[in-house]
């Protein structure tokens, strides 16, 4: 019977397919670009769900990446603060009117962009 060693949780998390940072940034830019076009309500719902999914994908990935650094590493500490902020934003509810939905989507988009930045700062690629 072959003997196998268990991977640490951090290593196992990092062995997954890397996030598609370019697509995540493009989705967020739909809300944040200075020349952003108005977004229809159905598209707003779809893109808002996509942003939430991207945040849910990036948070554990970044948390796993930070475990590779010493506890006093400033970039990894900043990344962890960003994951907490993004997790808080996942709890925001968009409301029933278009301006409220757009405001929440823009906050989610800012979190996606920040998490993408931290992912790359910590050594992720794309």
In a domain, 3, yes or no: no
**Residue 1 placed within a domain:** no
Nearest Cα residue to 56 out of 15, 22, 24, 14: 24
Please tell me the distance from the alpha carbon of residue 3 to that of residue 22, in angstroms, as a whole number: 40
The pTM (predicted TM-score) of the whole model is: 0.85
Does 14 reside within a domain? no
The answer to whether residue 5 sits within a structural domain is no
- Collapsing DSSP to helix, strand or coil, 92 comes out as coil
Q: Are 87 and 60 in contact (CB under 8 A)?
A: no
- For residue 85, being part of any structural domain is answered with yes
pLDDT tens-digit readout, 20-65: 999 999 999 999 999 888 888 889 999 999 999 999 999 999 999 9
**Domain that includes residue 87, residue range:** 20-31+38-121
Q: How many domains does the chain have?
A: 1
**Structure-model confidence comparison of residues 2 and 101, the more confident one:** 101
Establish if 6 belongs to a structural domain: no
Distance CA 7, CA 10 (A): 8
Which pLDDT score is estimated for 3? 34
Does residue 114 lie in a domain region?
yes
């Amino acid at each position: 019977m072959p003997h196998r060693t268990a991977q640490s949780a951090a290593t196992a998390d990092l062995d997954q397919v890397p996030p598609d940072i370019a697509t995540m940034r493009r989705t967020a830019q739909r809300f944040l670009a200075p020349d952003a076009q108005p977004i229809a309500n159905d598209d707003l719902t779809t893109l808002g769900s996509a942003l939430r999914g991207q945040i849910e994908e990036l948070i554990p990935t970044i948390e796993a990446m930070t475990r590779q650094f010493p506890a006093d590493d400033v970039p990894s500490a900043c990344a962890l603060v960003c994951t907490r902020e993004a997790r808080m934003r996942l709890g925001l509810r968009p409301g029933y009117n278009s301006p409220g939905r757009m405001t929440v989507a823009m906050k989610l988009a800012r979190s996606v962009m920040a998490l993408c930045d931290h992912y790359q700062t910590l050594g992720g690629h794309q």
